[in-house]
Amino acid sequence: MAMVETGNVMTTALKGTVNQTGFEMAETNPLLADFVSAYDGLHPLLDIGCAYGRNVAAAVRMLGAGHVAPDPRLQVVACDCALEHLEAVDALEIPQVTTIYGKLPLDLEDVKGLAKELGGFSGILVSEVLHFLSGEEIKESIETFKELLVPGGRLCITMFSPLANISGSNCPVAHSYRQSYAERESAGCKWPGEDINLKKLIRELQASLASDERAMSCFPSYFHVVSATQMKLALEAAGFKILLAQEDRHPGHAPHFHNDGRESTQVVAVKPTLEMLARGGA
């Protein structure tokens, strides 16, 4: 999700998703290299929430534009819950990319069927998707990612962190949101960001924006930020080994989302092989 401010009005700046509550980022995912390097030449990569294909197209370029897999599904699979997005990716006419419908956390039967047919995925990218899910749905999704990956397969996740200015810079909503998050975290909430009503805060604290129904319609009805530490714990509980867990800047975020350089939760994890398990995950 990304917006820019024009006077007192927030207007969409990047390429809006079909449901009008998210945007394809202006730059490729900061974990794209980690995602692409997971490709083993046999099991495809999977981009969940591919939008209009920015990351899958970049992944193919990084793998080598001159290489056309005998079976396109053996390179990059683009998954989304909006058919219009999948049609847009198909229109790119990239031979190494195939599209498939899927929606987290539970509507991924087609993806699971393809994984079973092809032996699993060597890497999964989940870019700016999980902040639309509850804590329980994130947990269910993590279990699905583990099922879809081959042993040694890599999972790359980016989502908004609690430190982002999620409703624009110099806005009291961002401060109030972070304060509520910190209070819930101190109280021991496992998912302290999941029950904070963003739209309610906007209406209470920023009347100029709240009065603009067009701008308000661009905010999702549900928005759940998660810290890198919380995501790390959830992944470890599911049996993943963590390679990276940090809050950093996403190059595709609009500047008004910037706060202190830690606006994006970024995690890279691996599904252990039997050898890794025998070594105790070392």
Give the model's pLDDT for residue 251: 72
Q: Is the separation of the CB atoms in 227 and 162 below 8 Å?
A: yes
Over its C-alpha atoms, the chain yields an Rg (Å, rounded) of 19
Cα–Cα nearest to 99, from 143, 132, 141, 52: 52
What one-letter code names the amino acid at 97? V
Half-sphere exposure of 225 (CA within 13 A, CB side): 26
Tell me the three-class secondary structure of the chain, residue by residue.
CCEEEECCEEEECCEECCCCCCEECCCCCCCHHHHHHCCCCCCCEEEECCCCCHHHHHHHHHHHCCCCCCCHHHCEEEEECCHHHHHHHHHCCCCCEEEEECECCCECHHHHHHHHHHCCEEEEEEECCHHHCCHHHHHHHHHHHHHHEEEEEEEEEEEECCCCCCCCCCCHHHHHHHHHHHHHHHCCCCCCCCCCCHHHHHHHHCHHHHCCHHHHCCCCCCCCCCCHHHHHHHHHHCCCEEEEEEEECCCCCCHHHCCCCCCEEEEEEECCCHHHHHCCCC
Give the model's pLDDT for residue 1: 30
Domain map of the chain by residue range? 3-271
Give the model's pLDDT for residue 3: 27
What does the alpha-carbon distance between residue 251 and residue 58 come to, in Å, rounded to a whole number? 15
pTM, 2 dp:
0.84
Cα–Cα nearest to 156, from 55, 57, 251, 22: 55
For domain 3-271, give the fold. Answer: Rossmann fold (3.40.50)
Over its length of 282 residues, how does the chain's per-residue pLDDT go in tens digits?
Answer: 332 222 222 233 444 444 444 445 678 999 999 999 999 999 999 999 999 999 999 999 999 866 677 788 889 999 999 999 999 999 999 999 999 999 999 999 999 999 999 999 999 999 999 999 999 999 999 999 999 999 999 999 999 888 887 766 666 777 787 888 889 899 999 999 887 777 677 777 665 665 666 666 666 677 888 999 999 999 999 999 999 999 988 877 666 677 776 888 999 999 999 888 787 744
What does the alpha-carbon distance between residue 235 and residue 199 come to, in Å, rounded to a whole number? 29
